[in-house]
DNA sequence: TATCTGGAAATATCA
DNA sequence: CTTGATATTTCCAGA
């Protein structure tokens, strides 16, 4: 049910998005900045293409708007009111000066003592920063939220929060609005720079996105105890909770999440997208200052608060920008040369300025590049490829799938460990220079949406005798970033034994101004690693890779079944083959359900696989692959399956592909996979985790397309993969799925997409499919990455695309806004697909689902219904499913919220 | 004594 | 509005 709803939402959002501007990215803008990164073409492309209209206008105006008047949004939407406005203003003020000052003000009111009073200095307590900021003033929060909310509501109406994000045109706008102009401004600037930061948040950039953080900052403070703040998850919550409770501080604010959620999402997403574009544009203009204010404020506050500590304040030149900086400030310039700059926004400056490497070790490349980086450093929510040219950032040893995060009220629960013992290991391949580089690590999301900083979790630096790796902690946009030296003498390899995970109270975060995400059941994270490699041309190449998902909830880790490996990724439609699943929390009465999803997420087909209870172990399950509903498919059909231990205890969707009867079975990857899969740290997991698809990076790894296709990917994590995978094959399918994804994903991601785009961008739109489909070549990988980006774009745009596509198929959302291009969609899908490997799959989409839904897919449909089957595809659905699963949990919540919200409205 | 943990009680939120 | 189910956050206690 929910899923359906969710889906709908997504769709909607997509549509919305489409309408909006997301696209945003103006080539022009992007080009400059991003170029560095990779290919940026994308960016440009995007913008134009997609959304030209909406965004274009908005963007520009928006930007302008932003800069000019904070209140007004780009879109014309009124700025959010109060909350934001206020903030904005402050920001603005601040801008000029430094955020710091302002921040303090803002924050202070609120609360928390924690924050450092002084503004200027900034060193706020880091920790607090996260929350507190928000807490701070309710007002702020309100504003932000309200803004958001409003905005969002606005948006949300359209779609769903979730959705929106991605798509949302708003994103930027939205975000910005609330967030304040500043941020946007920042972003923009950033964008301009490169996209870097991306989304709106860029400012915040980092993580969570800016939005969040910023918002947080602004809002926040509240962190107070949860109770008060907490909002209800339900969107409605907005209303509810907030105010009332408010506990102390913060909260009251507003609606917390709600707005956030919806709005935020939208905002975020959109913002990102659009914002990115805009930003780029703006960036050109430069306004970093402005941005700073806006963006900064929020973030800064937070950041500042939080991290300030580490950071030295701003030191940097950029600092100005940052004034806001604070947050960023986080980083000390030195340390994060790039970062800081980046955030701040002044691109030029940043670029120009060389980064200094504060860290001894770090020194990241002194190169100018770094400097570049900084300016351009992509926002944390941007999607980046894991490899490019000769370079590849790879997770050699994946972290365990479970790691109980600690609350601030608790002591550290130690560093994240590898499944096989030891710690995760990350290595940069292809780097032959003698200059050490800095590996950045932050906690990212693990849901369907695009990868971005996780609002509810922060990396926690572990020190002590047992820690062999030096690290430095900085804050970027409300996101804590651990900087670890990558030394040539160590083969650019780092053992990550210094990273723990801190859980922030949901109530604290949700109250943040820009935060749209819901914390409830949003307990999975990924370790995200980034490295910025200076290039001869002065540019900086940024690579990113995300780990397999890590479940951080004590409860979830103990109860939810988790599939880490599967012995087969595909098999004939007749089924009958035994498949071994490796993972955790399997019970004798665990059920394994195969499902075929329609683009809209509806389950077209569900079949419980036979399980061998005698062979069932907590970490492994032996099942018999059930026959597919349609024995006559002509092309591979992707489906999903999950392990269910009870009502709310089911694993994420895993991908599986049914092959036409006469086709030789392709890969089953038998055992390998499973073997120890679980543990396997090494395993594939890394590759495919959910996100991967999006990211591509991960995927990338697999060099071979072929190989990828099947096995490796598959098992992997399908879940995510699934989603992704599906796409792979057929574009169409993808599309469908995409939508979902998008929805889910959100905005933030979109931004990412942009970034990616950067790299490959333009292509992306166009290309996607191919890319997706074929992962094989290295380049592909890149592509892939791009894809992700693309996807994102897609998302944004895609959303449209999805919608379109999807719609057709799915009933749910028919909306559609846009129409679009399947292409995009495809692209999108591909991205996802990448995961799969799909190899081929492209296939068909089988029918998928027509059954379920409407099926309208134009192309696809065949119906799935059953039987005919011929159509291959499937993919799409899967993704959706996956997403759905994931989303479900998270999204459900969101949906609910949204629903509420809507209702309220 | 300080950490790191595993467990689980106390709260919150959902349904 | 109550109640049971869930999920989150805070505490405890042992190693």
Q: What is the DSSP track for A227-271? A: HHH---SSGGGGHHHHTT---SSSGGGS-THHIIIIIIHHHHHHI
**What per-residue confidence (pLDDT) applies to A665?**
60
Token pair in block for residue A159: 């779609």
pLDDT in tens, A411-432: 899 999 998 888 999 999 999 9
Q: How far is the CA of A179 from the C1' of C9 (A)?
A: 29
CB A462 under 7 Å to nucleic chain B: yes
Residue A524 lies in a domain: yes
The answer to whether residue A478 is domain-embedded is yes
Last residue of a domain, one of A659, A677, A706: A659
Q: How far apart are CA A887 and CA A775, in angstroms?
A: 25
Vertex A787 angle, CA A784 and A790, to 5°: 165
A520 touches strand C (CB under 7 A): yes
| Nearest nucleotide over every DNA/RNA strand to the A406 CA, judged by C1' | C9
Please tell me whether any atom of strand C lies within 7 Å of the Cβ of A585. no
Task: Give domain status of residue A644, yes or no.
Answer: yes
How many residues does the structure list for chain A?
905
Of A144, A294, A210, the C-alpha closest to A475 is A210
Residue A456: nearest nucleotide (C-alpha to C1')? C8
Name the residue with the least CA to C1' distance from nucleotide C12: A410
Span CA (A649) to C1' (C5), Å:
13
Domain that holds residue A482: 387-554
Nearest CA-CA partner of A99 in A88, A83, A110: A88
Q: Is the pLDDT assigned to residue A695 strictly greater than 90? A: no
- SS3 state at A546: strand
Specify if A92 maps to a domain: no
Residue A541 sits in the same domain as residue A583: no
Which residues, 6 or more positions from A436, have their beta carbon under 8 angstroms from its beta carbon? A361, A362, A363, A364, A365, A485, A486, A487, A488
Q: Is the dihedral of CA A675, A678, A684, A688 positive or negative?
A: positive
**Is pLDDT of A249 > 60?**
no
pTM, 2 dp:
0.49
Model confidence at A453, pLDDT cuts 50, 70, 90, reads very high
What is the C-alpha to C-alpha distance for residues A448 and A713, in angstroms, rounded to an integer? 16
Annotate A453-487 with b (16+ C-beta within 10 A) or e (fewer).
bbbbbbbbbbeeeebebebbbbbbbbbbbbbbbbb
**Is residue A405 assigned to a domain?**
yes
Q: How many angstroms from the chain centroid is the CA of residue A812?
A: 24
pLDDT for position A560: 87
Q: Among positive and negative, which fits the CA dihedral A832, A834, A839, A840?
A: positive
- Tell me A781's DSSP state: H
Distance of alpha carbon A461 from the chain centroid: 22
Task: Please state whether strand B lies within 7 Å of residue A891 at its CB atom.
Answer: no
Asked if residue A636 has pLDDT above 80, the reply is yes
A441/A460 same-domain check: yes
Domain count, chain A: 2
Residue A615 has a pLDDT of: 85
How large is the average pLDDT for residues A540-553? 94
Q: Which of residues 186-225 of A touch strand C (CB under 7 A)?
A: 225
Q: Are A549 and A576 members of one domain?
A: no
Instruction: Verify if strand C has an atom below 7 Å from the CB of A507.
Output: yes
Mean pLDDT of the region A171-195: 30
- Of A642, A659, A676, which closes a domain? A659
* In a shared domain, residues A534 and A566: no
Q: Tell the residue number behind the tokens 């003592």, with chain if given.
A: A113
pLDDT value, residue A527:
95
Which is more confident, A314 or A584? A584
Q: A392 in a domain, yes or no? A: yes
More confident residue, A96 or A886: A886
The answer to whether strand C lies under 7 Å from the CB of residue A409 is: yes
**Strand B positions closer than 7 A to protein CB:** 3-8, 11-15
Q: Confirm whether any atom of chain B, the nucleic acid strand, is less than 7 Å from CB of A646.
A: no
Q: Which of residues 399-428 of A touch strand B (CB under 7 A)?
A: 404, 406, 410-415
Helix/strand/coil (H/E/C) assignment for every residue in A264-277: HHHHHHHHHHHHHH
Q: State, as a whole number of angstroms, the distance between the CA of A412 and the C1' of B4.
A: 7
Are both A397 and A458 inside the same structural domain? yes
Whether residues A494 and A568 fall in one domain: no
Q: Are residues A585 and A541 in the same domain?
A: no
Has residue A599 been placed in a domain? Answer: yes
A424-CA/C15-C1' distance, Å: 25
Among the candidates A608, A642, A659, a domain finishes at A659
Same domain, A466 and A605: no
Phi, psi (rounded to 5 degrees) for A130: -50, -60
Q: Are residues A452 and A520 in the same domain?
A: yes
Residues 532-561 of A with CB under 7 A from strand B: 554, 558
What is the CATH number for A407? 2.60.40.340
What are the backbone angles phi and psi of residue A485, rounded to the nearest 5°? -70, 140
Nucleotides of C under 7 A from a protein CB: 5-12
Stretch among A415-419, A521-525, A649-653, A731-735 having the lowest mean pLDDT: A731-735
- CATH at A642: 2.60.40.10
Q: If you compute the radius of gyration of chain A from its CA atoms, what whole number of angstroms results? A: 23
Which pLDDT value is given to residue A113? 30
A458 lies in a domain? Answer: yes
Whether A567 and A491 map to the same domain: the answer is no
Write the DSSP assignment of A441-471 as a string of letters: EEEEE-SSS---B-TTEEEEE--STT--S--
How far in angstroms lies nucleotide B1's C1' from the CA of residue A594? 53
Strand C closer than 7 Å to the CB of A251? no
- Both A574 and A500 in one domain: the answer is no
* Judgement on whether residues A530 and A572 belong to the same structural domain of the protein: no
């Amino acid at each position: 049910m929910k899923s359906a709803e969710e889906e709908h939402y997504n769709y909607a959002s997509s549509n919305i998005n489409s309408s909006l501007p997301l696209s945003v990215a103006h080539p022009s803008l992007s080009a400059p900045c991003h170029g560095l990164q990779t290919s940026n073409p994308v960016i440009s492309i995007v913008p134009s293409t997609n959304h030209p209209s909406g965004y274009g206008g908005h963007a520009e105006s928006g930007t302008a708007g932003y800069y000019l008047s904070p209140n007004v949004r780009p879109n014309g939407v009124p700025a959010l009111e109060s909350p934001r406005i206020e903030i904005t203003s402050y920001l603005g003020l601040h801008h000029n000066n430094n955020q710091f000052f302002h921040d303090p003000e803002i924050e202070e009111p609120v609360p928390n003592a924690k924050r450092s009073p002084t503004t200027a200095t900034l060193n706020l307590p880091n920790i607090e920063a996260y929350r507190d900021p928000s807490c701070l003033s309710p007002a702020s929060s309100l504003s932000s939220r309200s803004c958001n909310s409003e905005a969002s509501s606005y948006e949300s109406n359209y779609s769903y929060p979730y959705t929106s994000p991605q798509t949302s045109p708003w994103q930027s706008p939205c975000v910005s609005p609330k967030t304040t102009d500043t941020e946007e401004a920042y972003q923009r600037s950033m964008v301009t720079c490169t996209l870097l930061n991306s989304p709106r948040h860029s400012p915040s950039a980092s993580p969570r996105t800016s939005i969040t953080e910023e918002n947080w900052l602004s809002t926040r403070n509240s962190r107070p105890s949860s109770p008060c703040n907490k909002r209800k998850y339900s969107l409605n919550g907005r209303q509810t909770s907030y105010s009332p409770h408010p506990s102390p501080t913060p909260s009251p604010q507003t609606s917390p999440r709600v707005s956030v959620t919806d709005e935020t999402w939208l905002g975020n997403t959109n913002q990102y997208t659009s914002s990115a574009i805009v930003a780029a544009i703006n960036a050109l203009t430069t306004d970093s200052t402005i941005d700073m204010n806006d963006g900064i404020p929020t973030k800064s506050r937070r950041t500042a608060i939080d991290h300030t500590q580490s950071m030295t304040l701003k030191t940097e030149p950029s600092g100005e920008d940052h004034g806001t900086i604070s947050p960023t400030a986080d980083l000390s310039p030195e340390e994060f040369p790039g970062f800081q700059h980046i955030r701040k926004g002044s691109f030029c400056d940043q670029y120009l300025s060389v980064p200094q490497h504060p860290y001894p070790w770090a020194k990241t490349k002194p190169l100018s590049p770094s400097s570049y980086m900084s300016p351009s450093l992509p926002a944390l929510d941007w999607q980046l490829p894991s490899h490019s040219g000769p370079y590849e950032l790879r997770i050699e040893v994946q972290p365990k799938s479970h790691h109980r995060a600690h609350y601030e009220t608790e002591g550290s629960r130690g560093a994240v460990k590898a499944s096989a013992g030891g710690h995760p290991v990350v290595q940069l391949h292809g780097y032959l220079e003698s200059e050490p580089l800095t590996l950045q690590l932050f906690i990212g999301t693990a849901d369907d949406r695009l990868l971005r900083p996780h609002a509810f979790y922060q990396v926690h630096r572990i020190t002590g005798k047992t820690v062999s790796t030096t690290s430095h902690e900085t804050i970027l946009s409300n996101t804590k970033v651990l900087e670890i030296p990558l030394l040539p003498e160590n083969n650019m390899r780092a053992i990550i034994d210094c990273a723990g995970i801190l859980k922030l109270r949901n109530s604290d975060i949700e109250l943040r101004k820009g935060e749209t995400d819901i914390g409830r059941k949003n307990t999975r994270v990924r370790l995200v690693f980034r490295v910025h490699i200076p290039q001869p041309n002065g540019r900086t190449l940024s690579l990113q890779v995300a780990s397999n998902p890590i479940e951080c909830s004590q409860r979830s880790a103990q109860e939810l079944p988790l599939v880490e490996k599967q012995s087969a990724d595909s098999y004939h439609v007749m089924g009958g083959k035994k498949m071994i699943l490796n993972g955790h929390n399997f019970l004798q009465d665990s059920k394994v359900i195969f499902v075929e999803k329609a683009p809209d997420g509806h389950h077209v087909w569900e079949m419980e696989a036979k399980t061998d209870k005698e062979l069932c172990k907590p970490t492994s399950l032996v099942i018999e692959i059930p026959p597919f509903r349609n024995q006559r498919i002509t092309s591979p059909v992707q489906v999903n399956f999950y392990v269910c231990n009870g009502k709310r205890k089911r694993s994420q969707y895993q991908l599986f592909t049914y092959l036409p009867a006469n086709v030789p079975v392709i890969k089953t990857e038998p055992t390998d996979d499973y073997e120890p899969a679980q543990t396997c740290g090494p395993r594939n997991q890394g590759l495919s985790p959910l996100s991967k698809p999006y990211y591509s990076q991960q995927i990338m790894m697999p060099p071979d397309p072929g190989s990828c296709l099947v096995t490796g990917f598959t098992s992997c994590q399908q879940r995510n993969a699934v989603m992704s995978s599906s796409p792979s094959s057929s574009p169409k399918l993808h599309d469908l799925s995409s939508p979902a994804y998008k929805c889910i994903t959100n905005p933030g991601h979109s931004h990412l997409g942009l970034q990616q785009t950067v790299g490959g961008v333009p292509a992306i739109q166009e290309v996607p499919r191919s890319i997706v489909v074929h992962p094989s070549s290295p380049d592909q990988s890149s592509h892939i990455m791009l894809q992700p980006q693309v996807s994102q774009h897609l998302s944004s745009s895609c959303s449209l695309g999805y919608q379109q596509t999807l719609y057709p198929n799915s009933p749910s959302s028919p909306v559609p806004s846009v129409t679009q291009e399947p292409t995009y969609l495809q692209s999108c899908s591909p991205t996802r697909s990448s995961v799969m490997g799909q190899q081929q799959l492209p296939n068909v989409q089988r029918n998928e689902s027509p059954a379920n839904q409407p099926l309208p897919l134009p192309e696809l449909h065949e119906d799935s219904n059953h039987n005919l089957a011929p159509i291959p595809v499937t993919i799409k659905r899967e993704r959706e499913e996956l997403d759905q699963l994931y989303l479900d949990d998270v999204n459900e919540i969101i949906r609910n919220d949204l629903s509420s919200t809507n209702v309220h409205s």
